[in-house]
Structure 1
Amino acid sequence: MHAVETKSSHLRRAAAFALACACVFAAGCAGPQSHHDDAVDDHQPHVPLADSSWARASGGAGLDPLSWEHQRLPGKAPVTFRPVRLDGRDALSATAVSAASVVRNKVRIEPQELAAVRFSWKVPALTPSADLALRDADDSPVRIILAFEGDRSKFSTKNAMLSELMRALTGEEMPYATLMYVWCNKRQPGTVIPNPRTDRIRTMVLESGPGQLGRWLDYERNIRADFEKAFGEAPGALVGVAVMTDSDNTRSTSRAWYGPLTFTQRTVSAAP
């Protein structure tokens, strides 16, 4: 009986995870609908997310700054995302109380045009019990998520089954590969962590430990180089981007702020 219950529990978790992955980047998700009208901080005027200064400043190659949306994930309490002004910067505040959701946007940058992604974040505190390598403790106060196309015929049997499950639940394909930038409690910057549920999601640690807490940190990452380090192959087209703060696995409270996110694009020389 215990074995049956355990198998059933694993299937439910896999199904919920597949649906959550699809909702990050797929249109027409079967879960709760997206929302564009998250309010700003209580001490500032109400501004819809898509009309906020943060959204207008987040754009670049292939990214429509007016298409940012808050996507809630099935079975998860939503994070409170609010455009704010913080320390003289346009920012997106995220407060997660045993919650997980994303602010996402679609993008289309072909492989030969991939260059850099620029972003910033500010984190006041870490989640002591979080561990990105464990499925029941896989939380982070900040995540930048990039989704890529690719050859799904290369999927392992497990990933092919997960992709089929996602298609059955949502009518959409699982991204071929997803790269996340995170702040980890203990692993060294540059460490790549395969997701505990599927190796088609890999996490790259940019910050580790409490040393840089409470200050703005700015990044410019070479997308192609980071993808090749994480996956050992060249990237396909970049098709989605999101920011995510989550505390649902550890049942904790997490707070963070994101600065505007922008892409640069390589200039492709014309053939002689």
Structure 2
Amino acid sequence: VVSDGTVSLLWRPLDRSQRSAQAASWAWSVQEGVTPTDLTVKGGDDRNLAVYFVFVDPDRAEALAGGSARRILRERSARALIYVWGGQHNRGAILPSPYASQLRTKVLRGSRAGTHQETVDLVADYRAAFGSSPGTLVGLAISADSDDTKGKIVASISNLSLRN
């Protein structure tokens, strides 16, 4: 991923066989990143990388299957759990999004460069973020965001896997 004063999102709907995932893991690396920002402030919330896991009520999963991120996130039952590398917050902090009440951010890494392997418990983190059990996992996204700081990000994510 290279982000030079921009924000971008790569979205992938999930196959039916992946919708019951309860955990995920991936490797990520940041060679160059943005300065620490307050992830709760709209227009000041740059981050090096973010991995979005998007859930909806089980009875809405089929109707929304294959839809765009924008369409799904407009759904009333949609919730996104966002794992972030960046920001000025403590590791493990769960933050409200300044953009929508159905989005929550969990900080996994600060803004420093480096390489790390992550393993997350989607069910436990969802409960901590939203106070309930997750619905059906319908999609995931990868994002880099450097538009507010006008910074540059050079980073990568690999070996993303979902597990029941």
Q: Which band: TM-score by shorter chain?
A: 0.7 to 0.9
- Largest Rg, 1 or 2: 1
Where do 1:1-272 residues align within 5 Å?
94-107=1-14, 108=16, 109-110=18-19, 113-128=20-35, 130-150=37-57, 172-173=71-72, 174-175=74-75, 176-210=78-112, 213-214=113-114, 216-265=115-164
1:103–1:197: structure 2 CA closer, same or farther, 3 Å change rule?
Answer: closer
- Structure 2: runs of 5 or more not aligned: 59-69
**Partner Cα distance (2:25, 2:36) in 1:** 29
1:259–1:200: structure 2 CA closer, same or farther, 3 Å change rule?
Answer: same
Give me the identity figure in percent.
26
> Does the 8 A contact of 1:150 with 1:177 survive in 2?
no
**Partner Cα distance (1:226, 1:102) in 2:** 22
Deviations 1:218-270 (A, max 9, x none): 111111111111111110000011111111222221111111211112xxxxx
Q: Matched residue pairs, number?
A: 148
1:115 CA displacement: 2.0
Deviations 1:111-156 (A, max 9, x none): xx332111111112432253211111111111111111039xxxxx
Which amino acid letter does the alignment assign opposite residue 50 of structure 2? R
Moved over 6 A (4+): none
How large is the RMSD of aligned CA atoms in angstroms?
Answer: 1.9
Deviations 1:189-224 (A, max 9, x none): 1101110121211100011253xx23x211111111
Point out the structure with the larger strand share. 2
**Partner Cα distance (1:260, 1:209) in 2:** 21
Where relative contact order (Cα < 8 A, 6+ residues apart) is larger, the structure is 2
- Report the 3-state secondary structure (helix = DSSP H, G, I; strand = E; otherwise coil) of the residue aligned with 1:114: coil
Which amino acid letter does the alignment assign opposite residue 225 of structure 1? A
Deviations 1:41-93 (A, max 9, x none): xxxxxxxxxxxxxxxxxxxxxxxxxxxxxxxxxxxxxxxxxxxxxxxxxxxxx
Give TM-score, length-normalised by structure 2. 0.81
- Structure 1: runs of 5 or more not aligned: 1-93, 152-169, 266-272
1:203–1:105: structure 2 CA closer, same or farther, 3 Å change rule?
Answer: same
